[in-house]
Amino acid sequence: MNNRKSIVYNAFILTIIGGVYVFKRVLIANRGEIAVRVIRACQELGIETVAIYSDADKNALHVQMADVHYRVGTSDAMDSYLNRNAIIDAAIKTEADAVHPGYGFLSEDDQFAEMVTKAGLTWIGPMPETIKLVGDKDAARASVAPSGIPMAKGSDPLTSNEMAIEAAREVKYPVILKPVSGGGGKSMFIAHNETELKKILQIVDVTKTRFYFEHYIERSRHIEVQIVADYFGEVLHLGERECSIQRRNQKLLEESPSIALTDEMREHVGKLAVKAAKSVHYSSIGTVEFLLDLATNDFYFMEINPRVQVEHGITEAVTGIDLVKTQINIAANEPLDFTQKDVKITGHAIECRINAEDPDNHFMPSPGRIYFMHEPSGPRVRFESGITAGLAIEPYYDSLIAKVITHGRTRGDAILIMQRALNEFIIEGETESGDEVKTTISLHKRILDDNHFRTGNIYTQFIKKRLPVYETIKKKLTLKEKMQLTQTLGENLTKAIDEGIDYT
């Protein structure tokens, strides 16, 4: 039985309530705030949930909220949240019908998705072959290109330093070196000339990891479009998200809609996203990412993310459509219950990602136990977190503490509400060494106060140009700091910092 038939078949053997096929029990193969988010969606759908946990997370919020919980391994993510066999075993033993991967961890792992379906369970996400296709950027670009979707000039996957130097000349500087697989803005390097490229090639081995070039657009906005697609051929878009506020390719703050787009541009990029999704036979919810060249107002395709995004909440705020419940219903073989004409964008939403990092000290991770947390609330504020007072921000996983989302009648309203919310947000905790737990709240306050941000004059180099203090390494790192940074970002990136290479 192929994967598409398996998904449909699984949907038909589920419990029937009021004529609608639903799942009885869903295992969430994740942790933290996204696990909590999925649990809440399941609760509203009347579906029981299974939380998996590592030793470090045995008292975590998602474990407390789920109907059933199951230990899958030690605190090491490789032994727990990335342990495919242990998670499949947990799903079978807890009699789950389906598996929701959240984002991160195994959410873009086609092997895991296939294992889920072969175990007789439903995968809440795109088909495994689709995940594999869009996960290979070279293959994805090749699949999308025949549809006439514009994309920045790129190279074939590189196999040697000599090929890299020649390919960069052909693509034309500046170039951005990207891994063929993976996402999240990680392991990308920018070269403005051959000298910079040769430095990068000293720390990146293109013979062991597959990389390719794209022409780098200096002044651009990062625009992504939310898509939803069922198994009946319906593919819709739910507007765009502005993701240009980044530090070293890592998103910090997102908003929807983008102030840069006219109605005509919005309709155009929405149609491009739908066309891209159809070109890879996409189903489930997902995101098509583009760069908007500010010099020409042209959109260039970057990639398709086959999962729920961290920033999905701002789309929910402006459309009123619950993306996680929609994703679950699609997996249960339900047709979409709305059309493109039903999608209306109302107001403006902003999301700030609050991490346990010290923005004044190279964004060093700051894990520790939280002994007091006052969550922002009030009108038009949404707060999502996997942490509460008494719990710990673990050093083994992503440093995200919470997402703060505000929704205003206008962009100006949303900014004012966010400023009020961040002033209310108080976190007090202590690291293992006895220091105060640091967060990125202060960084977000500075962004919101910046006149260029407030007037919408933003692009992907905003942090580097407007708030360079957060990009510049002011002092030599201590050995302890280097070791910690190495563990967090990877040995190559630490060496890149030492060499003064711009890998943003």
Average pLDDT of the segment spanning 211-215: 93
What is the pLDDT, as a whole number, of residue 451? 97
The rounded distance, in Å, linking the Cα atoms of 504 and 459 is 14
Provide the 10 A C-beta neighbour count for residue 52: 29
| Structure-token pair, residue 301 | 């395709």
- Is pLDDT above 70 for 464? yes
Q: What is the pLDDT of residues 2-56, one digit of tens each?
A: 444 444 344 444 444 444 557 999 999 999 999 999 999 999 999 999 999 999 9
* CB neighbours of residue 103 within 10 Å: 19
- Helix (H) / strand (E) element for 213: namely strand 211-215
What pLDDT does 375 receive?
Answer: 97
Per-residue pLDDT band at 184 (split at 50, 70, 90) = low
pLDDT band at residue 479, thresholds of 50, 70 and 90? low
Terminal CA-to-CA distance of the chain, rounded, Å? 44
Whole-number mean pLDDT of the chain? 90
Q: Are strands 400-408 and 348-355 parallel, antiparallel or unpaired?
A: antiparallel
Active-site annotation holder among 141, 241, 307, 382 = 307
Using 50, 70 and 90 to split pLDDT, how confident is the model at 480?
low
Longest Cα–Cα distance in the chain: 66
Specify the pLDDT at position 249: 85
Q: What is the mean pLDDT of residues 133-137?
A: 92
User: What percent of the chain shows pLDDT beyond 90?
Assistant: 84
Amino acid at 488: T
61's enclosing H/E stretch is helix 61-65
**Residue 404 to residues 57, 81, 354, 415, 425, Cα–Cα distance (Å):** 23, 25, 8, 12, 9
In the block, tokens 């993310």 appear at: 305
Q: What is the pLDDT of residue 499?
A: 36
Contact 255, 411 (CB under 8 A): yes
Q: Which of 19-23, 198-202, 246-250 has the lowest mean pLDDT?
A: 19-23
In angstroms, the Cα distances linking 97 to 22, 48, 49, 109, 437 are 10, 10, 10, 19, 40
Mean pLDDT value across residues 158-178? 94
For the residues 55-66, what does the mean pLDDT come to?
A: 98
Q: Mean of the pLDDT values across residues 84-101? A: 98
In order of their start, the domains of the chain are 3-124 (3.40.50.20), 153-215 (3.30.1490.20), 220-470 (3.30.470.20)
- 47 and 31 in contact (C-beta within 8 Å)? no
Q: What are the tens digits of pLDDT across the range 424-457?
A: 999 999 999 999 999 999 999 999 999 999 999 9
pTM of the model: 0.88
| Tokens encoding 38 | 């999925």
Is residue 488's pLDDT more than 70? no
For residue 495, the model assigns a pLDDT of 39
Q: What is the pLDDT of residues 362-416, one digit of tens each?
A: 999 999 999 999 999 999 999 999 999 999 999 999 999 999 999 999 999 999 9
Per the CB < 8 A criterion, the answer to whether 51 and 69 are in contact is: yes
Between 181 and 72, name the one with better pLDDT. Answer: 72
Q: Please report the pLDDT score of residue 504 as a whole number.
A: 31
Distance CA 382, CA 21 (A): 30
State the Cα–Cα distance between residues 448 and 471, nearest whole angstrom.
18
Q: Is 307 a catalytic residue?
A: yes
Q: Which of 118, 125, 73 is nearest to 99 (CA)?
A: 125
261-314 pLDDT, tens digit per residue, is: 999 999 999 999 999 999 999 999 999 999 999 999 999 999 999 999 999 999
Over residues 141-149, mean pLDDT: 93
Q: What is the pLDDT of residue 10?
A: 46
Those residues whose C-beta lies under 8 Å from the C-beta of residue 351, and which sit 6 or more positions away, are 253, 254, 255, 311, 313, 314, 403, 404, 405
The closest of 310, 336, 333 to 10, measured between CA atoms, is 333
Helices (H), 280-433: 312-319, 323-331, 411-424
Q: Mean pLDDT over residues 127-147, rounded?
A: 93
Task: Look at the block and give the residue holding tokens 């795109």.
Answer: 126
Q: In this predicted structure, which of 249-253, 257-261, 274-278 has the lowest mean pLDDT? A: 249-253
* Bridge partners, residue 27, by sequence: 50, 99
Q: What is the mean pLDDT of residues 475-491?
A: 53
The reported pLDDT for the residue numbered 377 is: 97
Q: Taking residues 78-100, report their average pLDDT.
A: 98
Do residues 283 and 130 make contact, with C-beta atoms less than 8 angstroms apart?
A: yes
Question: How many whole angstroms separate alpha carbon 359 and alpha carbon 426?
Answer: 16
Rounded to an integer, what distance in angstroms lies between the CA atom of residue 13 and that of residue 9?
7
How many of the other CB atoms lie within 10 Å of CB of 263? 9
Looking at residue 248, its pLDDT comes to 84
- pLDDT score at 481: 57
Q: What per-residue confidence (pLDDT) applies to 21?
A: 52
- Number of Cβ within 10 Å of residue 337's Cβ equals 10
What pLDDT shows up at residue 188?
86
Q: Helix %, strand %, coil % for the chain, to 5? A: 35, 25, 35
Residue 482 has pLDDT above 90, yes or no: no
Range in 212-216, 331-335, 449-453 the model is least confident about: 212-216
Antiparallel, parallel or unpaired: β 122-123 and 98-100: parallel
- 312-326: average pLDDT: 98
